[in-house]
Chain A
Amino acid sequence: DAKTTQPPSMDCAEGRAANLPCNHSTISGNEYVYWYRQIHSQGPQYIIHGLKNNETNEMASLIITEDRKSSTLILPHATLRDTAVYYCIVRVAFYHLNTGNQFYFGTGTSLTVIP
């Protein structure tokens, strides 16, 4: 049920910006874009989310194209601890009792930060 496409793997040099792309060409106007990451065998961890505008927090920046069909997660200064699988998720913004709560994870991008 994942509605996103991500490259299976990427490398990034330590200290450089890591730019992780995500395609969500069938996204609807009421759907958010979320990013999570999973380090080794831990549970996935929330990074950031957005609807239309670009977003930034202490972990990353999220750039959403104007047509909303794709987005990029930017880790500005990648460290070795950022090596993880990064998941891009689309979910509805409208909340109803039986909808809007499901988070479907695709296969993600395995990011390796190289010393």
Chain B
Amino acid sequence: DAGVIQSPRHEVTEMGQEVTLRCKPISGHNSLFWYRQTMMRGLELLIYFNNNVPIDDSGMPEDRFSAKMPNASFSTLKIQPSEPRDSAVYFCASKAGGVTGELFFGEGSRLTVL
């Protein structure tokens, strides 16, 4: 089992550029989550999908952020245009179905917007 795979691990970009973060969940997991972590705000839930359908996107900060899950094995989080305040570590996590399944996190994508 390869675990949750995220790419890129590190991204440095300039303000105004588009950023796309990618996530491959654990095979067979039907829920996928995107989190953002900063020193100031801690670990924030941005959005989660169930069976590829976005269920709760109330944590998405603004319209510059969008997330998609075109199939069960791939999701993207896009920021367009990026701003320095978007600098953070973005984690993807997946979970199997059922009430008490645990979250499995990827190693995160560290984004720096200059």
Contact = CB atoms under 8 A, between A and B. Distances in A.
A and B part of one assembly: yes
B69 to A, nearest CB: 14
B42 A32 contact: no
Contacts, number: 60
Q: Label chain B's interface by main secondary structure.
A: strand
A108 B100 CA distance: 21
Interface string A22-54: 000000000010101010011111100100000
Contacts of B31: 101
B56 interface: yes
Interface stretch (B60-68, B73-81, B91-99): B91-99
A107 B110 CA distance: 19
Contacts of B106: 43
Q: How large, as a class, is the contact surface on chain B?
A: 20 to 34
A93 interface: yes
Q: Label chain A's interface by main secondary structure.
A: loop
A21 interface: no
A42 B50 CA distance: 24
B107 A43 contact: yes
A45 B50 contact: no
15 contacts: A34-B102, A36-B103, A41-B89, A42-B108, A43-B107, A44-B93, A93-B99, A94-B99, A95-B99, A98-B55, A98-B56, A101-B95, A104-B45, A105-B42, A106-B42
Interface of B: 4, 31, 33, 35, 42-43, 45, 48, 50, 55-56, 89, 91, 93, 95, 98-100, 102-108, 110
